[in-house]
Structures are given as structure tokens and as C-alpha cells.
Structure 1
Amino acid sequence: MEQDWESRVKGLLKAELKRRDVTYQELTEKLAGIGVAETPENIANKISRGKFSAVFFVQCLDVLGCHTIRLND
């Protein structure tokens, strides 16, 4: 059951990155702009595992300019 939630959250973040054509390197730079130090490798690992904090998720959405997120299709 836990895996389903991780996959869902990972999918939401990956979809927003793809929708905006943003690479992990670019996300790293955007996060640095708000004082969040990450490497592209760390971001790739976090997203791949689907294990990251709600704070990280919201920080990513914020720097991507995503102000709303749809949870259901």
C-alpha cells in the first residue's frame, strides 16, 4: 500500500517536470534560487525512490511555477 502512495507522488512531480520541460539540473538551479542546496543526482534519487518530504515536494512545485495540482484524473 505504501508503494502506491510513493509512486503516485513521484508521478505527480515527474509529470510537472515534464510538462514544463525542466531537467534535474535546471530544477537544482531553481531550488538554489530559494536557498535549497541539492545536486541533480540527489534529486534524481529522491524522485526515483518516491521518498521525499512534503516540504521538498512543495518547494519543487513552487519553483516550477505550479500553483495548483490535480490529484484525480
Structure 2
Amino acid sequence: MMAYAIVRGATMVDTETADTAEWQARAKGLLKAELKRRNVTYAQLAERLAAIGVKDTEPNIRNKIARGGFTAVFLLQVMTAIGAREIRLD
């Protein structure tokens, strides 16, 4: 299946890629905001994840969040580890 292209400025953009990048940015922003709200660093997050049985390194966590392309499982693990009980999408 071929994605349609749109023009942004003078550049052709694959809509599938553009849409994915926007969703990844939104996911990244959501997680970073939740961590900031709770004053949790990446090092602390690695410790909290380990406490619930999720082994991951601080650099790996930082990279996952920076990309925004993490799994729903990772999102749920992080939210559980930091004690978040709800997610606001607006």
C-alpha cells in the first residue's frame, strides 16, 4: 500500500512518515511530562523499573523516550513504576 504525499513548504513529505513522527513526538512528550511532574530522573526511573522486575539501563531508557517509538508495554511499565494511575491525552 502506498502512502500519499503532501507538500510542506517546498518539500514532499510521506504522510505515513509524517503522521508517525507526530505520534512519536506526542508519546515522547507525554512520558517526559509525567516524569517531570513527579521529579523522576532517568536514573531513578531505571531503579523503579528494576523494582517491578523490568531490567533496563538508564541510557537505553533515555534513548527509547527520546525516539518516542517505544512499545505500549514500555509505556505501561513506566507509568506503573512512577505511580501514575491515569494519562491525560488532551
TM-score tier (shorter): over 0.9
Runs (4+) off by over 6 Å = none
Structure 2 unaligned residues grouped into runs of 5+: 1-18
In structure 1, give the amino acid aligned to 2:34: E
Instruction: Output one character per residue of 1:13-70: Cα deviation in whole Å (capped at 9) or x when no partner.
Output: 0000000000000000000011101000000000001111100001100111100011
Number of aligned residues: 72
State the match for 2:38 in structure 1.
20
Percent of pairs identical after alignment? Answer: 56
State the match for 1:50 in structure 2.
68
Of Structure 1 and Structure 2, the greater strand share is in 2
Structure 1 unaligned residues grouped into runs of 5+: none
Of Structure 1 and Structure 2, the greater helix share is in 1
State the match for 1:59 in structure 2.
77
**Counterpart-to-counterpart distance in 1, 2:69 and 2:55:** 17
In structure 2, give the amino acid aligned to 1:64: I
| Alignment match of 1:8 (pick from 26, 31, 47) | 26
Greater Rg over alpha carbons, structure:
2
**Counterpart-to-counterpart distance in 1, 2:82 and 2:33:** 11
Q: Which has the higher contact order (CA 8 A, sep 6+)?
A: 1
State the match for 2:56 in structure 1.
38
TM-score, normalisation: structure 1 = 0.96
